[in-house]
Structure 1
């Protein structure tokens, strides 16, 4: 890269990061499908139906496949077509096709939904009784996660920053910054990437960090974003619109929302529907 090009890139990143994102633009971004600008599945990979497990530690299980989705193991040259009940391993990369959705039950007792045209790598997801150790990389697309509150690390890394998760229901999206979220004078400049997060009910909180600067706390029913080369911008409370958008983009089975009521069996959040992966977890109780 020439010096002139490098200076121009620095100027673009500076002015892009200094232009505040509006909550309406972020909600539109989170609610829209974004065609990938590059192939999500490397064209050099051979695609096979007969699944072979990885030698890496177990990371989770495929609960449901709608449409088509693939997985390729770390340092492997084969992509396998995903089917329900197949195991997943640390180092696996998952790719969903058009009009597809993938639901996972992870080893750390979290559940994960990948929407269409999403690419995610499981760096590690290890089972823990009291301390979590999970790191995911979201390269492109949109995911919704239901996370049990435990001590330890649950981090989602993206090309523009990272999301530190406290729990319990949230969505993350990564795609090029839309024209509606850029100043007028930059409409024709190649878009940088944008990471946006949206939190659900009353106990849903995450920390969003950019490539520099302090992280910001995204409290329940709020939205925030960070762009390439920028710092995380303050979260904006959007109220019930958050729950409606979560359900529209990555719906949960049988019911439309996550509640934080309690049942006679204990305290803390419970769920107003019967959902196979959650039924098997002690933390995610079904509301009475």
Structure 2
């Protein structure tokens, strides 16, 4: 009407639906499936709903598995394939019964995990347990257990062995979106299908998150794959939260690659190594 961008103020949003505290009981798991009974009270289901497609997203709903890492303060960790960006509504399901809203508190820019929080009062007397971490890092040849959640929310467990620990390779996507960079992944022998989970020792102490990575192939088709993320990378972010502080991330805004011997010779890196008296230089 005026030749300008005419607009009308929208009315205020309707009040949020109130949530009533509820108690749920975790199902009993056969002790023969140890260490699954230790970890199942720490697993949750995470739903993420986007209001619109932004930041290279091709879907408006994502679903995955989260791990309760602290009950005071209440904290949940899940992968960035479940919560890829910060704009959206988060819902967390405990014991396949109680659904409550979640809130994003940390979105790691390089590693494949996010940190969520929730109102623990809404769980009433639900026996949620925080997972226990191991101080021992997994290396090639180590035995461990893959404990996760299947598509039907049933426990999945397998004793396995670490086949490789190496760089996670992801491609630049079109349209551009977040991808994991500068991080090592833990591969295991014959992994079973899960929505997510952990790699742990025989006592159920978590050594790595079992997370889903998203990328694209050379033809631009979306691809996903599972890999382990060492829990030490997550602990560094969680420690400040446990003290009531915010994590301070220090990083170089570069993408690292590993050069083989032939690459070092071609780029003159071997001469640089000899000049500085070192055995190897990584880029």
Bin the TM-score by the shorter chain: under 0.3
Pick the structure with greater CA Rg. 2
Q: TM-score, normalised on structure 1?
A: 0.25
> Greater RCO between the two (CA within 8 Å, min separation 6)?
2
Instruction: Specify which structure has the higher proportion of strand.
Output: 1
